[in-house]
Structure 1
Amino acid sequence: MKGICKVRIAAVLLMTLCGTGAFGKASAVEPHYAVSGIITDAETNEPIVGATIMLKDSYTGVAADVDGHYRLGGLEAGDYVFVVSFISYETKEIACRVAGDIDGLNVALRSDAEEMEAVVVKAKVRSDTEIAMLGAIKAMPQVSSGISAAQISKGPDRDASEVVRRIPGITVIDDRFVIVRGLSQRYNNTWLNGLSVPSTETDSRAFSFDMIPSSQIDNLIVYKSPSPELPGDFAGGFVKIVTKGMPDRNAFSVSYGTGFNVRTQFSDFLINPGSWTDHLGFDGGKRQLQESFPHMQLLTDPDRITDITRNGFNTDWSVRRITPVPDQRLTLSLARRFTNRRGTEVGTTTAINYSNTYKGITGIKNARYGIYSAASDQPIYINDYNDNQYSHNVRVGAMHNWAFVLDPSNRIEFKNLFNLMGLNRLTQRTGIKDVSSPQYQEQVEMLYSSRLTYTGQLAGTHHLTDRDATITWNAGYSYASKDEPDRRIVENYAGISDNSDIVEGLKTNNEHIKRYFQNLQDHIASASLDYEQTFTGGRIEPTLRTGFYGEYRYRDYTQREFQYNYDNLSVAERQEYLGLPFAEMMDNRWLSADRVYVEELTHPDYDYSADVYSAAAYAAVDLPLGPFSIYAGVRLENYMTILHRNRAAAPGYDLMTNDRRNDFDVLPSVNLTYKFNDRHQLRAAYGRSLNRPELRELSPAVYYDFDLFSEIQGNADLKTARVDNVDLRYEFYPAPGETISLGAFYKHFADPIEWTYCDMGGTLRYQYENARAAQSMGVELEVRKNLEFMAMPNLSLVLNAAYIYSRVTFNKGEVVTTPDRPMQGQSPYVINAGLYYNSQRLGLSATLLYNRIGKRLVGLGKSNSINPDPNTLIPDSYEMPRNVLDFSISKTIGRYVTLTLAVKDILSEDIVYKQFPTFVKDGQTYHREQVTRQYNPGQNVMLTVSAKF
């Protein structure tokens, strides 16, 4: 079934890609013409990126690209008046007779230093330039921040996770998940092209941003204050990603990059056995269980058990030692724009990208501690491991978008985004485990994971000119899957004497050769309809917005667990068997029902499926009152979850239950803006939002995380968290493309959801719990400024920083480790800075980027009392601050070719996690530090050559 889904999606993509040629045959028609040229600053002669040229009294128009070029097509012969405008520039009208294509209609705009009234643009203009992005953010009623494709192209960022960290108040963890304003990924929501996307993780509510290559992003906006048209399920930020749509002109580009990680390229690399399709991002069937694979608990026939033990699984246990080839990255993109016989402007954008990378991290310290020993002033290790981890990552991505401008008032878009990511990872672990008696251990995890996402959307925008109204609709389907076939964990151990010598040879316990299979599939069908109308002619011209959103989501999660049992072996046979290498242990002479056989440990209750029905409606009004504007409204949301699971105690029995949850929420919001003049404005906002438990967080399924050497389980009793948000921000726009803003925010949480752990008889298990309440407050600063005032016109500064303070309130009588602590996942401060150099004369650009986050709470500790005694608790764990410095330099060679050198993480500081135990001895309090995890990721060097035609 999983293979069929992949084939169907691939077929859809193939058909849409082939459609490019079919539409291309209906290109330019004789009676239609185009006007093109360059829009520049009259004083500096610099191109004005994002300036618009429109037909007067029409919604037809385009925006200038990064070089100031524009092309307005689809014009019939006749007389026209073109209106050319941009923020802080005088508007110019040009009368022109069109009797054929006009190339060279250049326009120079003069800066308007006087106050200007706000300009409302009803046309679809470019949003992928820095100036266009800042103009859009300035006009939005919400508190928001964003980044454009133009700024993305100046840095070495490869995917959306690296792009989004350049936005004020944003932190990225695990190179995938976004934290906004110090709040963990579960408090954020992500939509792609106007519709929701499924979680890509099995054990958390999160969207993996590393699945969207940066080359496919048109713009990315983070909304930080609620408003009626935004979904209510976010508290930190709502991230809206828009992929590239209508191109401005025909273009083709190709980019090839090669590079390496300095800690990987010059060292030996170990890799799991796999199949040739690993290089395409998915398993070719070598690791998969057959769909008809029986439940082993139900088998009694010895011959059948022997056959399955010998032939039912992949028998290749060989680990290869290789010298990894340098990283490879390839991107192809094609943009076409033309007019068909009916006079419809048609645009299509296609992009295909592929990457194949290796990363090896050795010497990873991975420890877990018990209660710190006050008597000896020494840490007490429960686990003290040293890990070596080798990862082979493959990503295949494709984007295929169509845009149709039917006439000046009607536009339809069809967008498709496909990503497939494969991870082949081997982890070797050695060290000490001491629960009841010390043991020396050697452990190995062989993991292969394949993640697939597809999102398809059909959207339309229609302007009703007689009513000054706009109707926008969107219908889409999203699919996400995560497949982990045949994850193997093997554990050897040996006893240790008091002087830490190994006193007996390594053994493999029958509970410690395990194989896991898990699969997650998410299907989301959604649709939205939005209506906007401005009522003109009166002293006050309000704008009414209303809309509906509906979504159906289906999830299916399955997992199976097996182990090898050798209880039937004699004592002498066991001694021989346990001393063999893994590959020889899987030889057929040992594998049979009367010797070593596979038994299944799968629990029926760990599988689940779910149906989620979501419906929302909103109404809002935007009231312009001179320099003051009010945007207020309310959103109604109904959210029903039905979780299906089998509560039977053993396979073969069905005791299906349906856990139903239904929430109805009223979410009011108000956003206020006061414009002192065209360059200065003040914002204030209040809104209520919420944070619902994710399906996996409600499920009782248990998953063993090898990195954490701990189990993870959901909690069916979780409550929905509700959040009240208050924002205040001052914004200053010194010049086009520049901004300086200073803001403050406050959030109050009722029933916030956090990740805690408990001791399950020597096994650590993480689960989710509600605290009683929490509050978070902070300030943010954003600066985007050209340094021309310092006689450096080719240099620009981008600086953003946030300082955040939060505290959690607990229920009376609740057992806690730290009564006065911040919210989990919070960084108390975030600093991002960038210096951008760009010389058109030299064809040279360079970027220097810096990032630092403050000490962040990642793991809650453990206490056995309501009033925690520092001598009897296990402290919380923190991720320590780290400085990250990235550099890239690009040189244009001729008209088409650009050469780029990028170095990421130049400082290559260790990633460190620590606990801070305290103890009281002889009436004096002592403070100590102990490292729970530490490793060095190494620098990444990449050389890229690209060509654009």
Structure 2
Amino acid sequence: MAQTGTVAGTIVDGASGDILIGVNIRVKQTNGGAVTGIDGKYNLKLAPGKYTLEFSYISYQSKIVEEVEVKAGGLKSLDMALSQKSVDLKQVVITASAIDNNEVSVLRLQKNSLSVQDGISSQEISKIGFSNSAESMKRVTGASVEGGKFIVMRGLGDRYSISQMDGMSLPSTDPYRNSASMDLIPSTMVDNIVVKKTFTPDLPGNFTGGAVDITTKSLPDRFYLNVSASVGVNDQATFNNNFLSDPIQGKTDWIGFDDGSRKLPDLARKNPYMTSLGSSIASIQNNPDNQMISDFNRSMRVFADRPYSVAAGSPGLNRSLNIATGNRFKSGNGNAFGFNLGLNYQHDNRFYDNRVINNYKANISNENRMQRFLYSSGTESLSSATIGGIASAAYQFGKNEIGASVIYNNTGDQSVLNLDKGTFPGALSSGEYRNRVIGFQQRSLLNSQLKGKHRASFFGETTIEWAANYILSSQYEPDLRFLGAPVTAAGDYFFVREVPNPFHFFRDLKDNQYMGKLDLTSSMKKFTLKYGGFISRKERDFTEYRYQLSTTGTDPADAEYLSFGEAAGDFDRFFGADNTGVLGKSGSSAIFGNTYEDQTQPSNLYEGYEQVIAGYLMGTFNLSPKLKTVIGARIETTDYQVNVKSGSRAPGKIDAVDVLPSLNFIYALNDKANLRLSGSRTLARPNMREMAPFISFDLLGGFPIVGNPDIERTNITNVDFRYELFPKSDELFAVSLFYKNFQNPIVTELDATSDQPQYKYVNSQQANLAGAEIEFRKGLGFIDPVVKNFKFGVNFTYIYSKVMLRSAEYDIRKQVNPDLKNWRPFAAQSPYIVNLLLSYDQKEKGWESTLFANVFGPRLFANGAGAAPDVYEVYGRIKDKQENRIKSNVPVPELNFRIRKQFKNQFSVALNVNNILDYDVVTYQEHNGEYFTTQAFNPGRVYKLTLGYSISK
């Protein structure tokens, strides 16, 4: 299989960076060759040996490359930049050793980009050992990751970044987020990730921080088969006998699917007595229809089969398996067909042994501003299973390419939050209070795409690109169980009126999204025009059914009924089927045990749609040999509507038309350096969850989250300046300055002063943000040849922002702090972000290693309203374990290390160590120099061993 080798690459215009179609590549020794396709790429199969290649194209200077060495089974990447012909230029002859294989791709993706752009290649992703796209983004300048899933660019929240796959936007599977869950995309399926930081009209208008585009593998250069398997240890979870899990386990939990074990039965939804049990109990007791009573009883037992008890066990090793294969086939007329297939499976366990959840009610009094509302700690156990796959195929014929791809990913998260220590002053004057949440969340994403690219001769040379996508995303939470109650001195639960009885929740969200786009690029002699259109429509259906334990009609004196006190805290006995529903009869009346009432809120069942239609026109003009301008505008129509399924609440609506202009100047100081200046208008839209009048909470005693149908979109003005220098193809120095003005920014506000504290979505007043970025990548061989295999990279982002306080809020807060400023930082904005990378690569012996660090400053988690201090998040250190408080908000870096050895027989072995410094994730409020922890957990250190095998021909 490995008797031949492959030479492949991309040919571009050396001045503009545009790909060149139809370039002839001739092999001198065989007199054979190839022609670049519509993607500017070529592919040659050659026997082992050394060759001379000639690259020629009409009106361009030819280049001859000598001593191109081809090895059996090897891939020689040989990219080329051709210069337009001049009478003074002669044919250029160079040797292959003088060409750096990454030069053209770096120039094309960054130096010749029409916008400010950064990115990471699949090679870099592989070196650092990131397992998914979210982790991979930590390497990009100005990027950090929120919640392990959501990309934060330039310190802005995920709302101001968009995620795309192969040029089409990805939806979020989390109703609380605008950005897609990037952890669903395995890094093995990624070719590269590019981040555009300035807007051009051919991009969606709803990004401000960055547009992240994940490019999946297209036509492979040759046949390949890659297999890797890993095992890992989390030092807090693996083999921990205190790891808790739901005793109800489905047969398909191990691959992240609920098999129906947790499904809400139709019997519970259709039972007439569960709607208002209090008024119906008498009719049930005296109803002679035994079938009706029997149906009611069975509906109760459905919940009894799913207890609030948990099982303790010792989880095994984390594990993963990745398989990827693909091939390219060529016909005699030069046409090519290729395919890629990939499969990914991963199972991880995490355990937080000091999980902290506290809520504080704000008092206007400066002396006792922070009053405990809920104060709790305990453990949280999480088990995640992910399975995904990709299938893509592409066919190139002449100046055309047609491709299709299907990507599927599903993640199932089982969790047990067990807060067994705490108090609830917000409801109980004294005594211990415990909280337990048992959940299963299944998130899935199906993305299918059909796309094409064609070259035609009208308006000069015109490239036509089109794509059509259907995306189905869902988030399914069957039987989410909430239990919160005080405990006796002996440690047994008991129920009181001040605290809600236990709940069963059933949540189901489905989004169907349809997208299509058409882009045409016409290249004239003196300028290039790009124009086209885009349409997207997303339809959402969300349901949340609530069932609450009720003791209506229960007589504790009945011998058949076991009270909670008599059960002595045994959940299985008290909540079990023998103590639930109709327990028997006393004469003509039924004897009742525990029952459940349907407490579903009509406002918590909503549906809606988001429709965006856009058209654009932009031109690229060479004002001089060194100065290029890109000017144009995009028109986007926004049509949003969110309705509750029943009730008289007014719908949330947005109906608007926005004109989004863009102007970019690119000045080439020389062939290695650029100056860039950009100005544009963009926007940010609320998501449907934020517009829905939906109230949700994450535990009994926790602050609920409330939607706002009156929320408005945000309009943003952007200005960017950048200097970039490429000393060598793998070296970079760049400095960027940026400024942004926001009208009606959307923020999450904590109203902790009312009797019922809550989080809510509101529009704040005007906001301004300014920042700077510096990136530096350099090989260390200039210091001494001994360290020539080392490479150092650092990027630093600094952000300064002001969001003006609303006048009513400012007046209240000033009473607490007379020196208070009338502004705060931007929501989810870090004041600084730093990435450090030190890598070692010795290809001759197959060794490579990477030390990677990421650190960001405390970022605003939620605005405080009234007297409530703002809530911040930091990766820090809990030093006071007794009070679960941080002593300072100085961040602890995330430090990861990877070392890998490649063997000649295509085997490899790698070791990853993540979170070496063992940081805590902490959200906190600060008052008078003291830090009050609202949430905290420690993710633990992770050690992973990966074995790989790769063959190609």
Cα pair 1:53 1:83 within 8 Å, conserved: no
Cα pair 1:882 1:911 within 8 Å, conserved: no
1:202-351 equivalent positions in 2, closer than 5 A? 202-268=175-241, 269-272=243-246, 273-291=248-266, 293-294=269-270, 296-297=274-275, 300=280, 301-311=292-302, 314-315=305-306, 317-339=308-330, 344-351=335-342
Cα pair 1:281 1:395 within 8 Å, conserved: yes
Shift of 1:73: 6.6
Take 1:481 and 1:128, find their aligned partners in 2: how far apart are those partners? Answer: 42
Secondary structure at the counterpart of residue 207 of structure 1: coil
Take 1:761 and 1:372, find their aligned partners in 2: how far apart are those partners? Answer: 10
User: Residue type of the partner of 2:455?
Assistant: H
What does residue 852 of structure 1 align with?
A: 855
Shift of 1:834: 0.4
**Residue 675 of structure 2, aligned match among 677, 682, 685:** 682
Cα pair 2:424 2:701 within 8 Å, conserved: no
Shift of 1:371: 4.3
What does residue 181 of structure 1 align with?
A: 154
Shift of 1:939: 0.7
Take 2:128 and 2:626, find their aligned partners in 1: how far apart are those partners? Answer: 37
What does residue 836 of structure 1 align with?
A: 839
Secondary structure at the counterpart of residue 736 of structure 1: coil
Instruction: Report the count of equivalent residues.
Output: 852
1:497-516 equivalent positions in 2, closer than 5 A? 502=489, 506-509=493-496, 511-516=500-505
What does residue 153 of structure 1 align with?
A: 126
Take 2:595 and 2:45, find their aligned partners in 1: how far apart are those partners? Answer: 72
1:487-526 equivalent positions in 2, closer than 5 A? 487-494=480-487, 502=489, 506-509=493-496, 511-526=500-515
What does residue 414 of structure 1 align with?
A: 404
What does residue 612 of structure 2 align with?
A: 614
Secondary structure at the counterpart of residue 589 of structure 1: helix
Secondary structure at the counterpart of residue 454 of structure 1: strand
What does residue 795 of structure 2 align with?
A: 800
Between 1:737-746 and 1:332-341, the stretch displaced more is: 332-341
What does residue 935 of structure 2 align with?
A: 933
**Residue 920 of structure 2, aligned match among 902, 907, 910:** 910
1:849 and 1:509, CA in 2 relative to 1: closer, same or farther beyond 3 A?
A: same
Cα pair 1:373 1:379 within 8 Å, conserved: no
Take 1:688 and 1:761, find their aligned partners in 2: how far apart are those partners? Answer: 38
Cα pair 2:138 2:145 within 8 Å, conserved: yes
Take 1:591 and 1:107, find their aligned partners in 2: how far apart are those partners? Answer: 69
Between 1:128-137 and 1:101-110, the stretch displaced more is: 101-110
Shift of 1:421: 0.2
Cα pair 2:541 2:607 within 8 Å, conserved: yes
Take 2:305 and 2:312, find their aligned partners in 1: how far apart are those partners? Answer: 20
Take 2:564 and 2:266, find their aligned partners in 1: how far apart are those partners? Answer: 36
1:361-510 equivalent positions in 2, closer than 5 A? 361-371=352-362, 380-407=371-398, 409-430=399-420, 431-435=422-426, 437-465=429-457, 467-494=460-487, 502=489, 506-509=493-496
User: Residue type of the partner of 1:797?
Assistant: F
1:204 and 1:439, CA in 2 relative to 1: closer, same or farther beyond 3 A?
A: farther
For residues 252-288 of structure 1, what are the alpha-carbon distances to aligned partners after superposition, in whole Å with 9 as ceiling and x for unaligned? 1100000111111242211112212000111000000
User: Residue type of the partner of 1:798?
Assistant: G
Shift of 1:93: 3.8
User: Residue type of the partner of 1:632?
Assistant: I
Unmatched tracts of structure 2, length 5 or more? 11-18, 27-33, 47-51, 90-99, 281-291, 583-591, 814-819, 875-888
1:219 and 1:291, CA in 2 relative to 1: closer, same or farther beyond 3 A?
A: farther
Take 1:229 and 1:787, find their aligned partners in 2: how far apart are those partners? Answer: 39
The reply on whether 1:92 has 2:63 as its aligned counterpart is yes
The reply on whether 1:164 has 2:137 as its aligned counterpart is yes
Take 2:75 and 2:864, find their aligned partners in 1: how far apart are those partners? Answer: 68
Cα pair 1:128 1:148 within 8 Å, conserved: no
Between 1:811-820 and 1:623-632, the stretch displaced more is: 811-820
Take 2:691 and 2:528, find their aligned partners in 1: how far apart are those partners? Answer: 41
User: Residue type of the partner of 2:858?
Assistant: K
Give the TM-score normalised by structure 1. Answer: 0.84
Cα pair 2:483 2:700 within 8 Å, conserved: no
Shift of 1:675: 0.4
Shift of 1:680: 1.2
**Residue 892 of structure 1, aligned match among 897, 902, 906:** 902
Take 1:64 and 1:937, find their aligned partners in 2: how far apart are those partners? Answer: 45
Take 1:575 and 1:332, find their aligned partners in 2: how far apart are those partners? Answer: 52
For residues 349-405 of structure 1, what are the alpha-carbon distances to aligned partners after superposition, in whole Å with 9 as ceiling and x for unaligned? 111010111111111232223447989889642222112000110000101111111
For residues 120-139 of structure 1, what are the alpha-carbon distances to aligned partners after superposition, in whole Å with 9 as ceiling and x for unaligned? xxxxxxx9968624531111
Shift of 1:878: 4.1
Take 1:337 and 1:755, find their aligned partners in 2: how far apart are those partners? Answer: 50
Give the TM-score normalised by structure 2. Answer: 0.83
Shift of 1:613: 2.1
User: Residue type of the partner of 1:279?
Assistant: W
What does residue 827 of structure 2 align with?
A: 824
What does residue 945 of structure 1 align with?
A: 947
1:657-736 equivalent positions in 2, closer than 5 A? 659-706=652-699, 709-736=702-729
1:794 and 1:311, CA in 2 relative to 1: closer, same or farther beyond 3 A?
A: same
Cα pair 2:144 2:152 within 8 Å, conserved: yes
1:206 and 1:95, CA in 2 relative to 1: closer, same or farther beyond 3 A?
A: closer
Shift of 1:874: 4.0
Cα pair 1:305 1:597 within 8 Å, conserved: no
What does residue 518 of structure 2 align with?
A: 529
Fraction of identical pairs, as percent? 26
Between 1:139-148 and 1:202-211, the stretch displaced more is: 202-211
User: Residue type of the partner of 1:283?
Assistant: D
For residues 85-137 of structure 1, what are the alpha-carbon distances to aligned partners after superposition, in whole Å with 9 as ceiling and x for unaligned? 9xxx99624799xxxx999999999999999999xxxxxxxx99686245311
Shift of 1:504: 9.1
Shift of 1:846: 0.3
User: Residue type of the partner of 1:703?
Assistant: S
User: Residue type of the partner of 1:947?
Assistant: Y
Shift of 1:859: 2.3
Take 2:82 and 2:457, find their aligned partners in 1: how far apart are those partners? Answer: 30
Secondary structure at the counterpart of residue 561 of structure 1: strand
Between 1:396-405 and 1:465-474, the stretch displaced more is: 465-474
Secondary structure at the counterpart of residue 896 of structure 2: strand
Take 1:645 and 1:129, find their aligned partners in 2: how far apart are those partners? Answer: 54
Cα pair 1:898 1:946 within 8 Å, conserved: yes
For residues 432-473 of structure 1, what are the alpha-carbon distances to aligned partners after superposition, in whole Å with 9 as ceiling and x for unaligned? 111251331111110000000010111111112573211101
User: Residue type of the partner of 1:191?
Assistant: Q
Take 1:404 and 1:128, find their aligned partners in 2: how far apart are those partners? Answer: 26
1:572-587 equivalent positions in 2, closer than 5 A? 572=557, 574=563, 576=565, 579-587=568-576
User: Residue type of the partner of 1:523?
Assistant: N
Shift of 1:159: 0.5
What does residue 591 of structure 1 align with?
A: 580
Cα pair 1:647 1:657 within 8 Å, conserved: no
Please give the root-mean-square deviation of Cα atoms over the aligned residues, in Å: 3.6
Take 1:456 and 1:129, find their aligned partners in 2: how far apart are those partners? Answer: 31
User: Residue type of the partner of 1:399?
Assistant: I
Cα pair 1:885 1:906 within 8 Å, conserved: yes
Take 1:138 and 1:371, find their aligned partners in 2: how far apart are those partners? Answer: 52
Take 1:348 and 1:822, find their aligned partners in 2: how far apart are those partners? Answer: 48
Secondary structure at the counterpart of residue 579 of structure 2: coil
Take 2:77 and 2:541, find their aligned partners in 1: how far apart are those partners? Answer: 57
Take 2:103 and 2:76, find their aligned partners in 1: how far apart are those partners? Answer: 22
Shift of 1:200: 1.1
Take 2:376 and 2:689, find their aligned partners in 1: how far apart are those partners? Answer: 29
Take 2:870 and 2:406, find their aligned partners in 1: how far apart are those partners? Answer: 47
Secondary structure at the counterpart of residue 232 of structure 1: coil
What does residue 598 of structure 2 align with?
A: 600
